[in-house]
């Protein structure tokens, strides 16, 4: 039985389709949006549309940005000889919140997962290898401590080692099976400082 109008039901369904949002949360969000002033709803709608239309990959690190280079890659004060490899832009943001990493990043947009049909060619590995032709001293592999993250780390390590570039892996401190975006800054900092060569 339907309790709301077709438009409200459609809004609830669209919100419920977002990751981590259940039906009850979607209903709360829908009614919050409906009760907002019209100009706030318009700004919300325009910001979603603009982000979708303008989002693109950074020409260097492959994170999402709205310019050719993201603010990190465009910053000349960052150490461009040190590259931290992460699975997604949320992981990049998690490390940036520590305020302790001064290098740059490379975003893979996933991890090797044969069960889900994701192989090395589905990741931004070709772009990483292209970057390594430049002046790079160290690659820090900061993939998640899951089976897929570990497999991805080993694969990347085997690709890079022949080039003579130092390859390190973030240390324990990040729980096995945990996603970096949900880990607190202190744990991330300890994992970064305790990284080991692989």
Instruction: Residue 173: give its domain's CATH number.
Output: 3.40.1360.10
Specify the pLDDT at position 124.
96
- Residue 187, pLDDT > 80, answer no
Question: Among 30-39, 134-143, 176-185, which is the least confidently predicted range?
Answer: 176-185
59 assigned to some structural domain: no
Task: Round the average pLDDT of the chain to a whole number and report it.
Answer: 90
Which residue's structure tokens are 């570039």? 165
* Total number of domains in the chain: 2
Contacts of 91 (CB under 8 A, 6+ apart): 107, 142, 144, 179, 180, 181
- Cα separation, 115 vs 140, whole angstroms: 26
Kindly state whether residues 187 and 133 are assigned to the same domain.
Answer: yes
Residue 82: phi and psi, rounded to 5, are -120, 120
Kindly state whether residues 108 and 68 are assigned to the same domain.
Answer: yes
136 assigned to some structural domain: yes
- Residue 153, pLDDT > 70, answer yes
- Residue 95, pLDDT > 60, answer yes
Residue that wins the pLDDT comparison between 150 and 188: 150
The distance between the two most distant Cα atoms of the chain, rounded to a whole number of Å, is: 65
Specify the pLDDT at position 196.
73
Contacts of 37 (CB under 8 A, 6+ apart): none
Strand partners, 106: 85
Q: Which of 91, 20, 97 lies closest to 62 in space, CA to CA?
A: 91
112 assigned to some structural domain: yes
The Cα-based distances of 128 to 16, 69, 177 in angstroms read: 35, 15, 25
SS3 assignment for the chain: CCCCCHHHHHHHHHHHCCCCCCHHHHHHHHHHHHHCCHHHHHHHHHHHHHHHHHCEECCCCCCEECCCCCCCCCCCCCEEEEEEEECCHHHHHHHHCCCCCCEEEEECCCCCEHHHCECHHHCCHHHHHHHCCCCCCEEEECCCCCHHHHHHHHHHHHHHHHHCCEEEECCCCCCCCCCHHHCCHHHHHHHHHCCEEC
Instruction: Tell me the percentage of the chain whose pLDDT exceeds 90.
Output: 72
Kindly state whether residues 36 and 92 are assigned to the same domain.
Answer: no
Per-residue pLDDT band for 195 (boundaries 50, 70, 90) equals confident
Average pLDDT estimate for 6-26: 93
The residue range of the domain holding 36 is 6-54
Kindly state whether residues 174 and 136 are assigned to the same domain.
Answer: yes
């Amino acid at each position: 039985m339907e309790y709301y109008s077709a438009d409200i039901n459609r809004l609830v369904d669209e919100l419920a389709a977002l990751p981590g949002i259940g039906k009850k949360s979607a209903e709360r969000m829908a009614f919050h949006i409906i009760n907002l002033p019209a100009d706030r709803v318009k700004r919300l709608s325009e910001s979603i549309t603009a982000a979708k239309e303008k989002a693109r990959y950074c020409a260097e690190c492959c994170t999402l940005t709205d310019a050719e280079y993201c603010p990190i890659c465009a910053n000349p004060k960052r150490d461009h000889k040190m590259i931290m490899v992460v699975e997604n832009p949320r992981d990049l943001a998690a490390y940036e919140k520590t305020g302790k990493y001064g290098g740059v990043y490379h975003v893979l947009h996933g991890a090797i997962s044969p069960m889900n049909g994701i192989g090395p060619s589905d990741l931004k590995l070709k772009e990483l290898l292209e970057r390594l032709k430049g002046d790079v001293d160290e690659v820090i592999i900061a993939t998640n401590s899951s089976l897929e993250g570990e497999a991805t780390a080993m694969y990347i390590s085997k690709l890079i080692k022949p080039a003579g570039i130092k390859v390190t892996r973030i240390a324990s401190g990040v729980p096995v099976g945990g996603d970096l975006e949900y880990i607190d800054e202190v744990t991330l900092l300890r994992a970064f400082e305790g990284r080991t060569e692989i």
